[in-house]
């Protein structure tokens, strides 16, 4: 699949689905093979993409793509090769095995396939019609962080897109944790703040304008569903990392402040070299110079994860700041990045 892969998106109505549609419609490799947009299974009629997302409309006289009812027959007839699922966790858990059985490759944006240990995945309260088959597919699923699992993603049949918060914590910590430089007995604090779109399109009392505007609030303390991804991908325990998410009164973007202590004193230049070496082949990670800390306004509507740090006077205390757009690097952009890896395209194609 080196050119013109045939794709489909299930779940195009939400924020992440809209961004995914925009990216695929403008992807340079897909100009002759635009994605198929899928609505609800069993729906009686089609809708138009531009009616759902007017921001995607074009001024070239082209007709709006149809959002057609979901069906496996539709996917087979269209020769679809990669199915993106921007669907609820329960729906993705049900449909992914069927997609694989129909010869499709899957990039799932939900949390249905991200977690391998039952103690962590239980937060989603998922039930499988065939637990044995689901467990087998779960073992095959690849955690879709290209910077960490590029080789496995390339040949994967199912890629589980990481959570937005977890991406913002895993990427800045991975270089240090993998080198065994962190004093885990002192623990890691991940203080993370996200725009309101991270909660999805359906309004709730806490994402309502009257609650979120002019406010900053912590939520899901000691129980956020992305926490298990930190444990599994960084090989940490609950005693070694504390993650607390907060709701920012902005539409999109995440800023994570990560506090840790190193086992041995080091220098700013050494830390800078470590980060740059680790991400030398990762075009979607931008490492800032020491003391130049990332800001949300510089990553919004991009697929970059920006990483910067400050080193304390003792050479051991480190503050890392990471920023990303929760709808792009934290969702749709990372999904397209995974597709690029799966198809042998340049990793940043369609994302810059």
Q: Give the active site residues.
A: 164
> What residues contact residue 105 under an 8 Å CB cut-off, 6+ apart?
81, 82, 83, 156, 157, 158, 159, 342
DSSP code, position 284:
T
Q: What residues have CB less than 8 Å from 13, skipping those under 6 apart?
A: 39, 52, 201
Q: Which of 68, 74, 65 lies closest to 34, judged by CA?
A: 65
Q: How many whole angstroms separate alpha carbon 243 and alpha carbon 192?
A: 7
User: How many whole angstroms separate alpha carbon 334 and alpha carbon 142?
Assistant: 14
Polymer length of the chain: 352
Tokens of 270: 């050494």
Q: What is the spatial distance between Cα 345 and Cα 3, in angstroms, rounded to a whole number?
A: 8
Side by side, the strands of the sheet bearing 82-85 are: 47-48, 66-70, 36-41, 7-10, 82-85, 105-108, 158-160, 142-143
């Amino acid at each position: 699949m080196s050119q013109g892969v045939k794709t489909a998106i299930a779940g195009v109505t939400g924020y992440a689905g809209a961004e995914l549609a925009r990216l695929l419609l403008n992807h340079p490799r897909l100009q002759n093979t635009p994605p198929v947009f899928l609505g609800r299974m069993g729906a009686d009629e089609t809708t138009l993409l531009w009616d759902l997302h007017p921001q995607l409309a074009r001024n070239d006289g082209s007709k709006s793509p149809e959002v057609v009812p979901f069906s496996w027959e539709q996917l087979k007839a269209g020769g679809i090769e990669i199915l993106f699922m921007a669907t609820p966790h329960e729906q993705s858990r049900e449909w992914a095995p069927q997609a694989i059985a129909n010869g499709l490759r899957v990039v799932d944006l939900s949390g249905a396939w991200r977690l391998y240990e039952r103690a962590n995945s239980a937060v989603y309260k998922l039930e499988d019609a065939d637990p044995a088959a689901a467990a087998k597919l779960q073992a095959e699923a690849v955690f879709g962080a290209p910077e960490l699992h590029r080789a496995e993603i390339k040949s994967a049949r199912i890629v589980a897109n990481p959570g937005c918060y977890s991406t913002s914590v895993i990427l800045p910590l991975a270089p240090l944790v993998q080198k065994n430089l962190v004093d885990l007995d002192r623990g890691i604090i991940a203080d993370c703040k996200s725009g309101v779109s991270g909660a999805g399109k359906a309004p709730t009392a806490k994402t309502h304008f009257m609650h979120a505007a002019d406010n900053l609030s912590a939520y899901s303390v000691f129980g956020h569903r992305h926490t298990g991804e930190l444990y599994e991908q960084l090989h940490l325990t609950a005693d070694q990392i504390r993650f607390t998410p907060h709701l920012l009164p902005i539409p999109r973007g995440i800023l994570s402040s990560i506090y840790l202590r190193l086992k041995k004193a080091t220098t700013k230049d050494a830390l800078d070299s470590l980060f740059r070496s680790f991400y030398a082949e990762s075009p979607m990670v931008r490492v800032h110079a020491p003391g130049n800390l990332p800001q949300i306004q510089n990553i919004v509507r991009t697929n970059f994860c920006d990483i910067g740090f400050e080193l304390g006077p003792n050479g051991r205390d480190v503050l890392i700041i990471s920023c990303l757009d929760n709808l792009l690097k934290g969702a749709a952009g990372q999904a397209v990045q995974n597709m690029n890896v799966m198809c042998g395209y340049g990793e940043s194609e369609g994302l810059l």
